[in-house]
């Protein structure tokens, strides 16, 4: 069966879209859980004691140095072996941990980019350190983190394709089924590429809109 426009858009893409809900849900949950964990770890990295900062630095360096496929498999077997959950949730949590490490660095950089003089000014008018962080530093840091966070969101969507190797039935798993049936890997992977391109492009487009709306005004 040769690759034709008709076959691509009337059969292959609709067939693979049968796994889009799993792909998007895995991506969304991993991104949100990773954001919460990454933000908390970023605050520990910036405001924690010396020992905590060193620990966070080592933690980040180790996880970012290991290929995502290896990390996914290691985390999958640790999580699945510790608690009795489905491959879907084990894969999602594994991706969340991986994303958490990258988001740690995104949020750390954003927090440190806020002028420390603002913290000093907040403390000078009687705000506690916690209130200054929550009301002064955090809102600015989140807005500054958006461009890098948008790239991470696209990266998580693409990384979600890895969960097929642990048995989660999403786009890539359906692609493997179709390749085994039709023996047309080129056509199938073209369809897969188009779907992931659409997902990442739309995600980046939407987040760019949010970024422009929340951009810090230039008052210089």
Mean model confidence pLDDT for the chain:
88
16-44: burial string, b at 16+ Cβ within 10 Å, e else: beebeebbbebbebbbebbbebbbebbbb
How many angstroms separate the first and last alpha carbons of the chain? 62
Q: pLDDT confidence of 217, banded at 50, 70, 90?
A: low
How many whole angstroms separate alpha carbon 149 and alpha carbon 156?
10
For residue 5, name the pLDDT band (cuts at 50, 70, 90): low
Least confident of 50-59, 65-74, 78-87, 172-181: 78-87
- Please answer whether residues 22 and 95 qualify as being in contact, where contact means their C-beta atoms are separated by less than 8 angstroms: no
- Binned at pLDDT 50, 70 and 90, residue 107 comes out as very high
* Residue 1 pLDDT greater than 50, yes or no: no
pLDDT bin (cut points 50, 70, 90) of residue 216 is low
d(CA 196, CA 183): 21
Overall pTM > 0.95: no
Count of CB atoms situated within 10 Å of the CB of 189: 14
Q: What percent of the chain has pLDDT over 90?
A: 45
Higher pLDDT, 9 or 74: 74
Q: Which pLDDT band, with edges at 50, 70 and 90, does 103 fall under?
A: very high
Task: Report pLDDT digits (tens) over 23-53.
Answer: 999 999 999 999 999 999 999 898 888 898 8
User: Residue 59's pLDDT is what?
Assistant: 87
Q: What is the pLDDT of residues 133-175, one digit of tens each?
A: 888 888 888 888 998 999 999 999 999 999 999 989 999 999 9
Alpha helices of the chain — where are they, by DSSP H?
Answer: 5-7, 13-16, 20-47, 50-65, 68-82, 87-113, 116-124, 129-132, 138-159, 171-182, 185-214
Give the percent of the chain with pLDDT over 70.
Answer: 95
Which of 25-39, 110-124, 128-142, 177-191 holds the top average pLDDT?
Answer: 25-39
Contact 148, 156 (CB under 8 A): no
């Amino acid at each position: 069966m040769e690759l034709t426009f008709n076959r691509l858009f009337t059969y292959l893409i609709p067939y693979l879209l049968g796994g889009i809900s799993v792909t998007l849900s895995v991506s969304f949950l991993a991104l949100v859980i990773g954001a919460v964990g990454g933000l908390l770890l970023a605050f520990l990295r910036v405001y924690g004691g010396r020992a905590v900062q060193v620990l966070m630095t080592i933690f980040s360096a180790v996880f970012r140095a290991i290929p995502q496929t290896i990390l996914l498999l290691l985390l999958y077997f640790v999580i699945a072996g510790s608690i009795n959950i489905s491959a879907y949730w084990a894969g999602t949590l594994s991706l969340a941990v991986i994303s958490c490490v990258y988001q740690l660095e995104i949020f750390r950089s954003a927090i440190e980019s806020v002028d420390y003089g603002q913290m000093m000014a907040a403390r000078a008018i009687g705000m506690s350190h916690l209130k200054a962080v929550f009301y002064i530093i955090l809102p600015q840091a989140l807005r500054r983190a958006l461009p890098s966070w948008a790239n991470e969101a696209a990266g998580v969507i693409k990384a979600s394709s890895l969960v097929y190797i642990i048995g989660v039935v999403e786009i890539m798993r359906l692609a493997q089924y179709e390749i085994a049936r039709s023996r047309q890997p080129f056509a199938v992977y073209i369809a897969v590429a188009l779907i992931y391109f659409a997902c990442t492009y739309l995600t980046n487009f939407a987040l760019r809109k949010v970024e422009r709306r929340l951009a810090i005004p230039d008052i210089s």
